């Protein structure tokens, strides 16, 4: 009788993302199908939610924005399912990082498009350009994937806040927007926790700790999309009044 295959060893951060590849004891065979099944499952659920929210959008600009979130999460799910290993450990493979980062720029373009539709004018481009230059510096010098992620979030926040600065927000959006911004801070904190504490946490008790980031990401993407559905509804209401 063949002994069960042991799970693949974790890769160093950011590639292990605090989840043993192929699952934990008793799930080693799952590694043949999914490298990081817990994180991938949450991302797939996020994609399903975004597809539902996409079906509720009426205008092309809002549909484009929600679709960009879906594309980001869909590739994110794929990257957790199938790491591309180059060599024995694949630690030098950055193709997923590059593609995810490119997908984040698709969100930036879609966000600018959606905000321009909602407000009637684009967000403050000079400030966005400065944030993009900083992001390019971090990305090209590869300071670290965590910093790439934080820089990408920074661009989203700059675009969002400058785009909504002169928009009269409905009450529910006024309540939800601070929650969204707080969640961005929470996920940044979770990124740093993984970067510096992952090994210690795994040694203390093996668990797919990365699902905390994925759950936070699911809430962020769903809330992000929902806020723009509310803004779309408010714009249509104002249009009907006029």
Residue 24: the pLDDT is 53
∠ CA 113-159-149, nearest 5°, is: 110
d(Cα 72, Cα 135) in Å, to the nearest integer? Answer: 18
Residue 143: the pLDDT is 76
Residue 11 lies in a domain: no
The tokens describing 239, both together, are 């249009």
d(Cα 196, Cα 107) in Å, to the nearest integer? Answer: 28
The single residue listed with the structure tokens 């809330």 is 223
List the domain range (segments joined by +) for residue 41.
34-81+95-231
The whole model's pTM is what? Answer: 0.87
Residue 136 lies in a domain: yes
The single residue listed with the structure tokens 């203390």 is 204
d(Cα 171, Cα 234) in Å, to the nearest integer? Answer: 11
Residue 44: the pLDDT is 96
Residue 219 lies in a domain: yes
Residue 83: the pLDDT is 65
The candidate with the shortest Cα–Cα distance to 217, out of 77, 114, 22, 111, is: 77
Residue 90 lies in a domain: no
Beta bridge partners of 21: 8
Please list, in sequence order, all residues whose beta carbon lies within 8 angstroms of the beta carbon of residue 241, skipping any fewer than 6 positions away. Answer: none
Cis-peptide into 14, omega within 30 deg: yes
Residue 32: the pLDDT is 56
Residue 23: the pLDDT is 57
DSSP structure class, residue 153: H
Q: Please list the pLDDT of the chain residue by residue as tens digits (242 residues).
A: 455 555 444 443 345 578 877 655 445 555 556 778 888 999 999 999 999 999 999 999 999 999 999 999 999 898 888 765 544 444 445 677 778 888 999 999 999 999 999 999 999 999 999 999 999 998 888 777 788 889 999 999 999 999 999 899 999 999 999 999 999 999 999 999 988 998 899 899 988 899 999 999 999 999 999 999 999 999 988 776 76
Residue 20 lies in a domain: no
Residue 115 lies in a domain: yes
d(Cα 225, Cα 116) in Å, to the nearest integer? Answer: 16
Residue 13 lies in a domain: no
Question: Rg of the Cα trace of the chain?
Answer: 19
Q: Helix (H, G, I), strand (E, B), or coil: what is residue 62?
A: helix
Count up the domains in the chain and report the number. Answer: 1
d(Cα 165, Cα 222) in Å, to the nearest integer? Answer: 22
Residue 25 lies in a domain: no
The tokens describing 71, both together, are 């594309």
């Amino acid at each position: 009788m063949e002994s069960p295959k042991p799970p693949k060893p974790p890769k160093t951060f950011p590639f292990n993302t605090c989840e043993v590849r192929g699952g934990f004891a008793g799930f080693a065979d799952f590694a043949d199908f999914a490298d990081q099944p817990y994180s991938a499952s949450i991302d797939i659920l996020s994609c399903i939610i975004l597809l539902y929210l996409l079906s509720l959008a009426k205008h092309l600009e809002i549909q484009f924005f929600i679709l960009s979130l879906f594309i980001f999460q869909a590739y994110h799910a794929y990257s957790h399912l199938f790491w591309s290993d180059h060599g024995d450990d694949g630690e030098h493979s950055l193709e997923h990082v590059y593609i995810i980062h490119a997908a984040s720029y698709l969100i930036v373009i879609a966000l600018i498009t959606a905000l321009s539709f909602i407000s009637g004018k684009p967000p403050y481009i000079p400030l966005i350009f400065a944030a993009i230059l900083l992001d390019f510096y971090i990305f090209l010098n590869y300071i670290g994937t965590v910093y790439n992620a934080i820089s990408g979030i920074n661009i989203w926040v700059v675009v969002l806040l400058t785009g909504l600065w002169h928009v009269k927000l409905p009450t529910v959006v006024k309540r939800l927007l601070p929650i969204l911004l707080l969640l961005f801070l929470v996920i940044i904190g979770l990124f740093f926790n993984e970067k510096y504490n992952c090994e210690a946490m795994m040694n203390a008790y093996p668990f797919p700790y990365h699902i905390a980031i994925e759950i936070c990401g699911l809430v962020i993407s769903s809330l992000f999309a929902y806020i723009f559905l509310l803004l779309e509804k408010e714009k249509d209401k104002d249009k009907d009044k006029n």
